[in-house]
Structure 1
Amino acid sequence: MEPYDRCLTHLNTAERQAYFDSLAPGADIDHRGTRFSRGLLTALLDAVRPNPESSSVFKKAKFSNATFDEWEFARVVFEGGTDFSEAKFTSEGYFLDVDFQGQANFHLAKFDGPAKFANVTYSRLHMNSATFEGNATFDTVVFQKALYCEAVTFRAHVDFVDCSFEMTSSWRQSRFEMEATFQGVKASGKTSFNNSFFQSLNISDSSFNGIFDAEEAIIRGVTVASVEFGKSLVCNRTKFTGMASFEGCTFSGIAAFSQAWFYASVNFSGSTFAAPQTLGPFWCSEEILLHGARFLEPVAISAAAKRLSCFRTRWDGTSSLTLAHAEINLASAVIMQPLSISSRAPSLSDQDFQRRTGTAWEQEGVSLSSLIGVDCSNLTLHDVDLSSCHFIEAIHLDQVRLEGRNTFQTPPKNRIWIYGIPFKWTQRQVIADEQHWRFDLTQPPLRRLGWARPSYVRTGLTVNTTSLAIVYRQLRKAREDSKDEPGAADFYYGEMEMRRYDRKWSEAERWLLQIYWLLSGYGLRASRALTWLALAMMATILLMMGFGLPQENPKQSAYGTIPAGGGKAVFEINEEAPRNPTSDRFTGGRFDKALSTTLNSVVFRSSGQDLTTAGGYIDMASRFTEPVLMGLAVLAIRGRVKR
């Protein structure tokens, strides 16, 4: 302090008072390296205060390397530049109703106790490499111009309440080691948290009209609720090591999560994406939640996750989901424009994420678990596992497009024994709803014999043979419309199975279906029809040899009378009636004749053999049944090779 060789702290009372008397509002001060007690700081502020009701006014203020043991800056105006670089605030204190009209510099400042900034206005703030050891609160703070708080360390809680960032604010490489809260914040310019660390980040009821950039940040847990991102949210290569929630947010611009890692679940429930989006590729160890989310424009999502839940998600634009390892739930989703779901092959990036996060993928491709309440007219599935998908109550299921290799469940493959007789279930494509129906306690034990028990019990839906028949019929039509006749065959088989079990049909119709199933598997199992044909032919041959062929070929006799006076002689030719065989029925010759007769009957031809009365009836029966069985076999083969 001129003209002394001591600082303000070490002046005597008279010298200090003389200095204070020399000050006036708007004075320039220089107290670098000075140690301030509460009384000394109060005296300094009072010296530049026009009256007790007014604010203290400084022009330029230098407090670099100063130490504030007990500090309160209340009702202060800094008209010029203010320097608090490397200052130390050793106790709890606050800036209250302070206006920094020039540049404020808190570079390398250290706050050892709780610090509160309330009703503070910064024209321009530099706080690079500052450290807050205690709680920090910024309440109704206005940052008018650029804010540079890079490499700042907050070791305790930090709260930004009703703050306004009117231009660029940079928090690059900062550390928030406890909870960081942004509530009621409004940011007009770019907000950058590049390469920063957050132990816990909470943002609510805020709007960021510029770019919100958290690229390559590490965030242990984040909860973002009711926040509007006006231009873009950039989280490329960001690592979310805990639960990440972006619930009820509005993304008016791009939401970029390219190469982002989510170590737990990520929640976008109730959020609105108002611009075209390309989300991903990113990785998620647990579940991606899109409950009630709305995509107003086209979106392409590429991700690897365990689950993707799209309950009541609304797709207003043309969209695509390209996923790996994921199980998707589309229950009650609203699909207004074409939506395609496809599976991608596992990649090296998936393996790297799995190794570093300890994620245990449950499958390689993508599976669909539910289409309940979904209008499928705009849905395309490509290489999707549908073995656990519930189709009951889906709408316009006949218009779904099944492309690539979509897999369903199959009946049990093991041989089962019924009353000591071995049987095998006919192999076909089965929907999960049928499996749940078979394990209904009201079903006979025979219908669920050999079937695997469902992994969970489904409630709230009524599954019966009528509804299952409708589902199979719609899936069959979807396959037929795409010209996949062989693929539609299994769904036709399932439809007929449900009709066979359905009690609403008359007994006559059900018995007709029972016979149709028994003889040829509803015209779809050529092996069954050919087996019955072979059995019918063997029975015909045996019956012909035993009863149908006569003992000997009937002999003809000619009888005539020659008139006495000569003239024309008239002869009558009589043939013996065939005689039933009495011995040597099963001989080689008789087998050859029986085989010839049987083969001719299969193709509706007459063998020309002389038959007994019983043989005639046997021949008529075989000429009716065997061509029918042959036709069923041909029909089944045609169903498998039809283009």
Structure 2
Amino acid sequence: MTITSPSSEAPDWPQCAHEADGRRCRGRPVEPYAACLAHIGVDRRAGHLAALEPGAGLDLRGTPFTRDLLTELLAALTDPATGRHRLGPADFEEAEFSGDAQFARVDFTGDVSFDGAAFGGGAYFTGARFEADLGFVGATVARNVWLDGVECGGGVCFNKTRIDGELRLETGTITKSAVFRGLVVGGDATFSGIEFIEPAVFMETEINGTAWFDGALFRSDVRFDGARIAGKAWFDGAEFHHDARFDSATLSEDVSFNGTRFVEGAAFPGATIGGDVEFGGNEIGGDVTFRKATFQRTTVLGPLVFPRLLDLSDAEFQSAVTIEAAVGTLHCRRTRWSSTAALRLRHAEVDVSDAVLQFPVSIAGRSHPFVADGRELEVPELSDAPVRVASLRGADAAHLVLTDVDLTGCQFVETVHLDQLRLDGRCPLASPPPGLRRIGRRPVRWTRRRTLAEEHHWRAERQGADGWTRAPGNTDVWGPAALAPVYRQLRKALEDGKDEPGAADFYYGEMEMRRLDPDTPPGERALLALYWAASGYGLRATRALGWLLLAVVATVLAMMLWGLPQDDPEPVSTGTVTGSRVTMTTDKPDPVNPQGSYGSRLSSERFEKSLRVVINSVVFRSSGQELTTAGTYVEMASRVAEPALLGLAVLAVRSRVKR
């Protein structure tokens, strides 16, 4: 690396009188001389260094250092009691180091500045101690910067520093703020085991290798806004005690947070993540948000196990991904899935409103906890919480598969292609209130079936029906006109999946909404009401059989009282003889209406005949029994009504057992 002056302008300190190749040295003169430490001559330098004591302050701004000159300087400041080099406040601003700069085992007892310094080799501070602030603002380093095992009683500032090699800052403590804004590292950057007491800032940092933060301890806020890490990022075992933000960061490869502790959660809004994001065995006390993040080649996200919010709203997944989570709430609002995705959830209330699904996406509940390092990951607060889908509003359900999730509170209205939704496993919906309830003063008993949450909201809001669930705050209440198409599309979705028994409840709901819709023509509403009362829209076999039984009893009773004649009429034959010719005529008298009291007509003989007449007329369409005029009309009515009721009962049974 060629050492060049950080600035062509004159420095703001007295300048060395030495010139070479038309360039004046920028080093600060050593008093009382006119030249800097590098140019005062060997004898004068030896005398100057001999006069220094350990802990002396240094002002060596702009001074060019060779390796030998730096060695001489540090040797003059060696504490004989400890064998370590001890410096007071030291200013190396815009100093030039032609080779490796070795500051190992140096104690800096005051502020030290390398702002604008240029290192032709590396800068090595292994085992150094900084009792005050360390400044590296705008410095350039041709090779590595190592600060292994340092203790820093002040802060560090690497604003706009450029390191062409690697940066190592390991197993130490930084007591005050640590600022790495605009830092550029050509290789790996290691911050393993470092304890940051006050806020740490890595905003707009660029690391072109792997970033190691494993075991790091951030006791205050940490910001990675706009940071760019070209290699993998490792945060295994790190601890974030306050806000951990990665706003608009670019993490080009895998990111690992295994065993990481987030006391107040983590935020990745607008981040770009190129690889997998691994979590496991974490302790997370707040929310984790990936709002507007872009996942380019992420195949695994999780397992995330914590009781708060996981927010993937407005995020984009560009490759096939598996998301594993057991969380309190999962937001996928307006999330874009540009490839297949599998959401394997242990606990969560999922909101998929307005999501864009371009390829198949499955949301499935898991019955067993996730496992990391042989240990089951579970959240005690969520041990009994199922996977619940809260909303599909505005989402395109054409590629959506739901398996073993709770839909009791799910909002379906405004879902696109709902008829192509696939439901597998056990996906319960809300049920009507059990037992005897009231609408106003009228007691009712609701039919057991699967209902939409939106129907609950409407009945509770508009009808004032007892026991139905009211809509949460700021939730639209939809009427029958909007709910009927939703039931219709869900019915078709199950029918297309060959689950006709499961689709029966959705057909019932569709017919209910049509019957209760005030915009439905009165004639149609009356017909639907009759259909509902007779057989529950062809789905309640017991209701149809009950009406059939009642109709049979009524018909038998009518036959006994009015339909059967007093006596079976006997045919009478008369004849005439004309010569050898005999002519016979047989007449059968009309049936005579029964006589006597009604009690006398209710005999076992008349009951047996009436029952035979009803069964023959309904099943075999002809009774063969002479009836009175009233009986004839009763039989005609029974031939119409009772087979229809029998057919409705058969239809209801078929709808529940057909496969």
Assess same fold via TM > 0.5. yes
TM-score by length of 1: 0.88
Please state if 1:227 is matched with 2:242. no
Give the number of the structure whose residues are more often strand, by fraction. 1
Q: Determine the C-alpha separation between the residues in 2 that align with 1:276 and 1:554.
A: 92
| Counterpart contact for 1:345–1:365, Cα < 8 Å | no
Q: Does 1:209 align with 2:221?
A: no
Work out which of the residue numbers 404, 407, 431 in structure 2 matches 1:410.
Answer: 431
Does residue 164 in structure 1 map to residue 181 in structure 2? Answer: no
TM-score (norm 2): 0.86
Q: Give the match for residue 10 of structure 1.
A: none
* CA-CA distance at 1:29 after TM superposition: 11
Q: Which amino acid aligns with 2:125?
A: F
1:193 maps to what in 2?
213
Q: 1:482 Cα deviation (Å)?
A: 0.6
Output the CA distance in 2 between the equivalents of 1:296 and 1:19: 58
**Secondary structure in 1 aligned to 2:170?**
coil
Give the letter for the 2:576 counterpart: T
Q: Which residue of 1 aligns with 2:7?
A: none
Distance 2:362 2:628 in 1: 68
Alpha carbons 1:33, 1:67 under 8 Å: kept: no
Deviation track 1:274-301 (CA, whole Å, cap 9, x = no partner) reads 1142112231321111111001111111
2:126 to 89, 103, 107: 107
- The residue matched to 1:178 in structure 2 has which SS? coil
Counterparts of 1:30 and 1:594, CA distance in 2: 133
Alignment-derived partner of residue 4 in structure 1? none
Distance in 2, matches of 1:484 and 1:418, equals 33
Whole-angstrom distance in 2 between the partners of 1:249 and 1:406: 34
Q: What's the secondary structure of 2:523's corresponding residue?
A: helix
Task: Show structure 1 runs of 5+ residues with no match.
Answer: 1-12, 47-53
Q: Shift in Å at residue 26 of structure 1?
A: 11
Say if 1:117 and 1:141, in contact at 8 Å, map to a contact too.
yes
| Paired amino acid for 2:247 | A
Q: Which amino acid aligns with 1:635?
A: L
AA aligned opposite 1:55:
T
Partner of 1:424: 445
1:575 pairs, out of 561, 584, 589, with: 589
Counterpart CA distance in 1 for 2:424 and 2:240 is 39
- Cα 1:294–1:561 change in 2 (3 A) is same
Q: Kindly indicate whether residue 294 of structure 2 is the aligned counterpart of residue 280 of structure 1.
A: no
Please state if 1:505 is matched with 2:532. no
Residue 246 (structure 1) aligned to one of 259, 264, 268: 268
Shift of the alpha carbon at 1:21? 5.0
Change in CA separation of 1:187 and 1:419 when aligned onto 2, cut-off 3 Å: closer
User: 1:464 maps to which residue?
Assistant: 479
* Partner residue, 2:392: 371
Q: What secondary structure does 1:140 align onto? A: coil
Residue 340 of structure 2 aligns with an amino acid whose one-letter code is: T
Question: CA, structure 1 residues 435+317, in 2 after alignment: closer, same or farther (shift >3 Å)?
Answer: same
Aligned to 1:143: 163
The residue number in structure 1 matching 2:612 is 596
Shift of 1:522: 0.2
Question: Which residue number in structure 2 is paired with residue 134 of structure 1?
Answer: 154
Deviations 1:215-268 (A, max 9, x none): 222222310011111233222332222220011111123333355443321111
Assess if the C-alpha contact under 8 Å between 1:306 and 1:326 holds in 2: yes
Cα 1:591/1:352, change in 2 over 3 Å: same
Q: Deviations over 1:432-482 (max 9, x none)?
A: 111111122xx233xx2332334x1343x4612111000000000000101
Correspondence for 1:5:
none
Determine what percentage of the aligned residue pairs are the same residue. Answer: 36
Q: Give the Å deviation of 1:309.
A: 0.3
Residue 452 of structure 1 is aligned with which of 465, 469, 472? Answer: 469
Preserved contact between residue 328 and residue 347 of structure 2 (Cα < 8 Å): yes
Q: Which moved more, 1:18-27 or 1:156-165?
A: 18-27
| In structure 1, distance between residues paired with 2:529 and 2:222 | 65
1:592-614 CA distance string (max 9 Å, x none): 11111122232152222221111
What CA deviation, in whole Å up to 9, does each residue of 1:320-360 have, x standing for no partner?
111011111000111111111111113275996556xxx51
Q: 1:7 matched to which residue of 2?
A: none
Tell me the CA shift for residue 24 of structure 1.
8.8
Secondary structure at 1:367's aligned position in 2? Answer: strand
User: Structure 2: how far apart are the matches of 1:29 and 1:124?
Assistant: 31
Match of 2:543 in 1: 528
CA distance in 1, matches of 2:94, 2:467: 83
- State how far apart, in whole Å, the 2-side matches of 1:492 and 1:602 are: 29
Distance 1:613 1:579 in 2: 9
Alignment of 1:555-634 (within 5 A): 555-563=570-578, 565=579, 567-583=581-597, 584-634=600-650
User: What corresponds to 1:326 in structure 2?
Assistant: 348
Measured in 1, the distance between the counterparts of 2:44 and 2:279 equals: 52
- State the partner residue of 1:308: 330
User: 1:185 offset after TM fit, Å?
Assistant: 1.0
Larger displacement relative to structure 2 (293-302 or 413-422):
413-422
The alignment of Structure 1 onto Structure 2 pairs a total of residues equal to 608
CA distance in 2 between partners of 1:140 and 1:449 (Å): 67
